[in-house]
């Protein structure tokens, strides 16, 4: 799979999982909440958090599931810490 197909596959999967993309190019996909995905050789996806390397994935479904879980947890934690919904 060439880089353009790898990017298209990733963007399609992110859309399917309702994960917002701020910017995308042939090297990197920028997500919200300081997350980015670096596209590597041999179908590798390197998850970056605040510019620091995190988990590496070869399966876009596992990558998107991981991101979705962590984004959902961060949103819940952020809402609790901000006092949202408290009287």
* Cα-based distances in Å from 13 to 28, 55, 83, 87: 15, 17, 33, 39
Q: What letter would DSSP give residue 5? A: H
Q: What is the pLDDT of residues 5-18, one digit of tens each?
A: 889 999 999 999 99
The pLDDT assigned to 41 comes to 79
* Residue 36 within a domain: yes
Higher pLDDT, 59 or 83: 59
The pLDDT assigned to 67 comes to 93
- For the chain, how many structural domains are there in total? 1
- Say yes or no to pLDDT of 1 above 80: no
Domain that holds residue 12: 3-82
* Residue 87 within a domain: no
Q: What is the pLDDT of residues 23-68, one digit of tens each?
A: 999 899 999 768 999 998 777 999 999 989 999 999 999 999 999 9
């Amino acid at each position: 799979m060439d880089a353009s197909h790898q990017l298209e596959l990733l963007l399609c999967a992110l859309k399917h999982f309702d994960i917002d993309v701020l910017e995308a190019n042939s090297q990197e996909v920028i997500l919200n909440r300081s997350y980015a995905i670096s596209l590597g050789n041999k179908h590798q996806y390197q998850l970056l958090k605040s510019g620091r390397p995190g988990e590496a994935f070869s399966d876009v479904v596992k990558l998107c599931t991981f991101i979705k879980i962590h984004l959902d947890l961060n949103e819940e934690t952020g809402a609790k810490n901000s006092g949202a919904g408290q009287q």
